[in-house]
Structure 1
Amino acid sequence: MGSYVDVILCAVVPMDACHVLLGRPWQFDRNVVHHSRSNEYELVDKGKKLVFKPMAPSAIRSMSTKCEKASSMFMFASEREVDEAIEVGGCVYLMVVTEVPSVGVENDQLAALLKKFKDVFPDDLPTGLRLIRGIEHQIDLIPGASLPNKAAYRCNPMETKELQRQIEKLMDIGYVRESLSSCAVPTLLVPKKDGT
């Protein structure tokens, strides 16, 4: 930026507001002072005081319209730039783009992998609860302490009927069983995208 040169480890995220966001780690490492009223950053680099000022709104607007017009603008390094980065020992990331097979065409490697681990991807889920293993988790209650007994969430008749249907289905296949505990967990129904 101007005469200021720095190397910063960046997290790459899509942003519309700016190209680079210099956050708290950079400010702390460079002993930067942020003037919030003027939105300026002040630091000393090689004994010289530098002040970073924000761009004017008109400059930002003109820059964004130029970017919209330049639809062929790519942010990829050229072969020469990659060679130079490798020569100086820089970190280079390679992105390989391959054609995705169309829907219905089965990938041989994927089919072989699914066949190899068929027991992990069964067609139907097993019924009943899993076998009791060595480590069991429990919530230890304080003897004699009163439980927070609050009213359940209100459900309309349709939600109540659907909740009862799903609980009966889960009980039939053995995923849940009736509890005699005085504790309960509220259940909420969330509609799917198709409206069910």
Structure 2
Amino acid sequence: MIIDSGSYENVVSQEVVDKLNLPVEEHSHPYSLSWFKKGNEIKVTKRCLVSFSIRQKYFDEAWCDILPMDACHILLGRPWQYDRQSLYDGKRNTYTVVKNDIRFTLLPMKEKVTSKDVSKSSPSATTLLASKEFVEESRDFGIVLVLVPIVHTGASREKVEVATLLEKYSDVFPRELPPNLPPMRDIEHRIDLVPGSALPNKPAYRMSPKEKEKLQRKVEELLAKGYIRPSLSPCGVLALLTPKKDGSWRMCVDSRAINKITIKYRFPIPRLDDMLDCLSDQRCFLRLILEAGIIKSASSPMMSGKWPLKCLMAYLSGL
């Protein structure tokens, strides 16, 4: 059915009249039309009373002229619109009509999307089919493909292997650091200061009682775990608290003053081009071996061309 404000007559298709066996009567004023169907002019000689409903909410009837048109089944023109005081809203594409002093708003039909239009439709368009439409689609194509998702509830083999490896070396990946400082090593780290420089000894930052209490609690916690110990050094380094995103506090040490009088040691790194030339076409590597041998000396296995390119890139990405 089409509502057409440009048509001066209400029209019903001859096919509808024949299938529904509608009662027909002679037209009181026969006339000719030519734009409903391609070809010669068509003589209008009969009409009938057509009852129709729109979305099972609006029920109406109208006298329609009978024509063998193929544009639609029912065309409601100016006579029906005049009787129902219809108003068209071009922005919302709706018609407002009045029948028996009741106002109705006729909404446009939603576009029907089938599987044939999926590739042309928007991403937000639905692609679900009713059972009847599915049967029709399957008859047209002849082949139906079914996609069945499989949900894996258990852990994959890779995850199990990783979990086993982490459990085997759990002492290397502890959830919390062990108490006390690490044991003495053969090579101990040392910070050398510029000879003759005065050691900084600045007063503490001003803080609120709440911050001071939290800082004291943090120092006592580190002392209990053995991570720090009372210092007898004449050098004083400032400590302060900074808030974190989760609302807790992080203790920070202001080492800018001591860093100014610290000797900066620099070690040359081999040229990238020379290292790439030495790697040759090796493919397998271990990052631990690379880190252990790349800086030691030029006579190491890495520099003799026995380690791969990927190993070098892994090391450089960690610098």
> For the superposition of Structure 1 and Structure 2, which TM-score range results when normalised by the shorter chain?
0.3 to 0.5
Q: TM-score, normalised by structure 1?
A: 0.42
Relative contact order: is structure 1 or structure 2 higher (C-alpha 8 Å, sep ≥ 6)?
2
- Which entry has the higher C-alpha Rg, 1 or 2? 2
Q: TM-score, normalised by structure 2?
A: 0.27
> Which one has the bigger strand percentage?
2
